Amino acid sequence: MSCGQVVSTEARAMYNVGLAGLTFWSPNVNIFRDPRWGRGQENPGEDPLLASKYASGYVRGLQQTDSGDPKGCFLLYIVSDCDSVDVFYNSQHYTKTPEGDAAKATLAEAAVKGGILKETDFDKAITNNFMVLMRLGFFDGDPSKQAYGKLGPKDVCTAENQELAVEAARQGIVLLKNAGGSLPLSTTAIKSIAVIGPNANVTKTIIGNYEGTPCKYTTPLQGLTAFVSTVYQPGCLNVGCTGNSLQLDGAKKSASQADATVLIMGADQSVEAESRDRLDIHLPGQQELLITAVTNASKGPVILVIMSGGPMDISFAKGNDLIPGILWVGYPGQAGGAAIADIIFGRYNPSGRLPMTWYPQSYVDKVPMTNMNMRPDPATGYPGRTYRFYTGETVYSFGDGLSYSAFIHHLVQAPKLVSIPLEEGHICRSQKCESIEVLQNSCENLAFDIHLRVKNDGKMEGSHTIFLFSTPPSIHNSPKKHLLRFEKVFLGAQQVGLVKLNVDVCKDLSSVDEVGSQKVALGLHVLHGGSIKHSLSVGI
């Protein structure tokens, strides 16, 4: 069962007893373009392909039942956001009159009376609204007699659903650093750990924003305590970690006596949220001071856990040899503490990948948040945004993520040349062209397969995600690279698997030129699949 299915099933169950509605404003598929953005925690990251796959999968999950029947469970409904029309006029001054803004949003009756909108346009919007209500069963009488009417409290917080919460959290955790194979920790060698940090024993923080009511919370401290003896010190009374909230002495003492130290730092909704963008991307307040002081005092290895929705500049920790392990856990949900502990102690092999670029602080020092241009501008020194266009240094890159296993890649099959057929009289038959505009008749069935053999060369079973990127020829301000496909494969220790990735030439190898036309660049495209690079020539 998928996360979306559980959400929809539990929503129906709670609706049937009067505790929930049936319209969910989800998912958020905005592209995460600026590391300071407070709502980055709500969306799947900075890559358009990833966002589209996430959205389609989640919506399908919401709409399907266990049998796969999508009837009557959710309907995709596109509307304006809450008070957005008011924001149009009072905050953004989009037009000169309230009626003008309402007309743009097709919502206000005054716009109809003023002749700006036709009454039929207004009727259509209302009809759409009632269609959604009808699809959801609002007018079908007693809900208990309908298709999902038997769902109730027994279907909420089931053992299966709670296990899915743990598994979802495990899959989302990203191992960023593991120097010398310091992780996983051994329960035979490590008898005690110091658990330190303002996010070490949090409950509501772990479920992020726009949250539901969880069945129960498992904090990081509770999760770790299930494995070995723990000593807890907050180090800071809150994530702001300013002034008198810093408590160094107790934290340093605990770290000096324990076999290992786990620091659980990062952010919460007081730092990042809707209408709360960050001013910089360092860890808040004196968290860096706390981490450094505890690390210097620690008797054993130090594992740093970052809990946040957005990226952090943790260059100081990445380069510190006394901090051999770093995890990013996002806001991992109600069972997040159990998942963190499962990975730290090796019950689960990490497989998460970063969905966004982690920039250095120097990036936000020179890039205005109001400049949303994706492409770099050498004339002004503007470095661009996201892995597709950004030209500067990174702390960590989109797609980064380690495993406790080494995965070896071998290219089995891939073409070296692809030709785009041209109709008679096409201008590129008589003169040299850098690119070909994508047209329906030239793109049908123009695809190829790439086969990669993947071996889990480690001692633990685990999942591994193959990302297939393309670096196109450098014309039309094309991206440095962009994601074409991704596939996750589960392999046992020393097991070998075959991953097949299909590439649509005109869809996947095209980019948009300066005037908005979709074109395939002719010349050498470099495909990146895992550790493999393959040159593909696209011609006519």
Query: Who's near 523: CB < 8 A, 6+ residues apart?
Result: 434, 473, 537, 538
Task: List strands edge to edge, sheet with 447-456.
Answer: 407-413, 447-456, 496-504
Q: Say which residue the tokens 């299966």 belong to.
A: 160
Q: Give the number of other CB atoms < 10 A from CB of residue 260.
A: 25
Contact of 540 with 428, CB cutoff 8 Å:
yes
Contact of 112 with 122, CB cutoff 8 Å:
yes
Contact of 466 with 487, CB cutoff 8 Å:
yes
Q: Which candidate, 292, 269, 275, 187, places its Cα nearest to that of 230?
A: 187
Q: Tell me the one-letter amino acid at 307.
A: M
Q: Give the number of other CB atoms < 10 A from CB of residue 533.
A: 12
Tokens of 309: 């929705």
The Cα–Cα gap between 282 and 313 comes to: 5
Tokens of 163: 């296990």
At 294 the three-state DSSP class reads helix
Q: Which candidate, 337, 459, 463, 453, places its Cα nearest to that of 401?
A: 463
User: How far apart, in Å, are the Cα atoms of 432 and each of 11, 108, 400, 436, 517?
Assistant: 59, 54, 39, 11, 19
Catalytic: which of 81, 142, 321, 365?
81
Query: Quick check: bond before 184 cis, omega within 30?
Result: yes
Q: Which candidate, 361, 388, 358, places its Cα nearest to that of 374?
A: 388
- Provide the CA 496 distance to its chain's centre, in angstroms: 28
Q: Which candidate, 474, 279, 483, places its Cα nearest to that of 365?
A: 279
For 476, phi then psi, to 5°, come to: 55, 30
For 259, phi then psi, to 5°, come to: -70, -25
Query: Who's near 68: CB < 8 A, 6+ residues apart?
Result: none
Contact of 208 with 274, CB cutoff 8 Å:
no
Query: Quick check: bond before 27 cis, omega within 30?
Result: yes
Contact of 392 with 363, CB cutoff 8 Å:
yes
Query: Does residue 81 carry a catalytic annotation?
Result: yes
Q: E-assigned strands of 337-431?
A: 407-413, 417-419
- Radius of gyration of the chain, Cα coordinates, nearest whole angstrom: 26
The Cα–Cα gap between 204 and 212 comes to: 10
**What is the DSSP secondary structure assignment for residue 198, as one 8-state letter?**
T
Q: Give the number of other CB atoms < 10 A from CB of residue 95.
A: 15
Q: Which residues are catalytic?
A: 81
